[in-house]
Amino acid sequence: MQFSERIVGHIPNRWLTRLLERAEMVKFLVVGAITFVATVVLYFGLKWTVLTDKPITANVLAVLVATILSYVLNREWSFAERGRRPRHHEAALYFTVAGIGVAINQIPLGIARYVFDLRVPHVSLVVDNVSDFVSGSIIGTLMATAFRWWAMRRFVFPDQTYTGQAPDEEIARAVERIGGAGETE
């Protein structure tokens, strides 16, 4: 039994049905969580070592590295069921959307640092880092994620695999494929 089957076996059917209805979004959010951790680790690693006086540059570099990871994971997992364009065309669209997302991600950080002056020497080092985390890593990421979710589904990975079945039938088939996993309620 695979690891995923063991996990699914512990999920009640009513929850499993809801998760399967939103499987694409759940996968997108899991990829987002993975890339969020990568972004935060890279950002603060760069900010505290190499780019100590360039936090926006550190954040842009961290987000760019995480974006490459995100492309691979989203293409191969989150949106694997959606129509595929030629790889170069899809990649160009993806990185265009991601570039807009990078810009959106920087807006709250720039406002916190340069409009509200939440940076050393105007505030303590602790306030500087907490402000950068909240504005750049939390607020900026949430704004960019909402935009990317919409744009990825609309432009990069459009749904071209319609099966002709009603969504309820597709969910029932997915639960059936799992083999009755999730029977515990």
In a domain, 132, yes or no: yes
In a domain, 165, yes or no: no
pLDDT of residue 10: 72
CA nearest to 17, candidates 184, 140, 120, 168:
168
Collect all residues with Cβ–Cβ distance below 8 Å to 43 and sequence separation of at least 6: 58, 59, 62, 63, 136, 137
pLDDT of residue 96: 92
Question: Cα(89)–Cα(182) distance, rounded to whole angstroms?
Answer: 40
Q: Give how many domains the chain has, as a whole number.
A: 1
pLDDT of residue 22: 74
pLDDT of residue 14: 75
In a domain, 51, yes or no: yes
In a domain, 61, yes or no: yes
Collect all residues with Cβ–Cβ distance below 8 Å to 168 and sequence separation of at least 6: none
The whole-model pTM stands at 0.64
pLDDT of residue 184: 46
pLDDT of residue 176: 62
Show contacts of 77-80: CB within 8 Å, 24+ apart. 77/27, 77/31, 78/24, 78/27, 78/28, 78/30, 78/31, 79/24, 79/28, 79/152, 79/153, 79/156, 79/157
Burial (0-12, 13-18, 19+ Cβ within 10 Å), 112: buried
Compute the Cα dihedral for 132, 137, 142, 147 and give only its sign.
positive
pLDDT of residue 177: 58
pLDDT of residue 8: 67
In a domain, 172, yes or no: no
Token representation of residue 87: 């790889």
pLDDT of residue 175: 57
In a domain, 180, yes or no: no
Q: What residue numbers bound the domain in which 95 lies?
A: 25-159
pLDDT of residue 164: 46
Q: Which residues of the chain have pLDDT under 50?
A: 161-167, 181-185
In a domain, 164, yes or no: no
pLDDT of residue 4: 63
pLDDT of residue 105: 86
In a domain, 184, yes or no: no
pLDDT of residue 100: 93
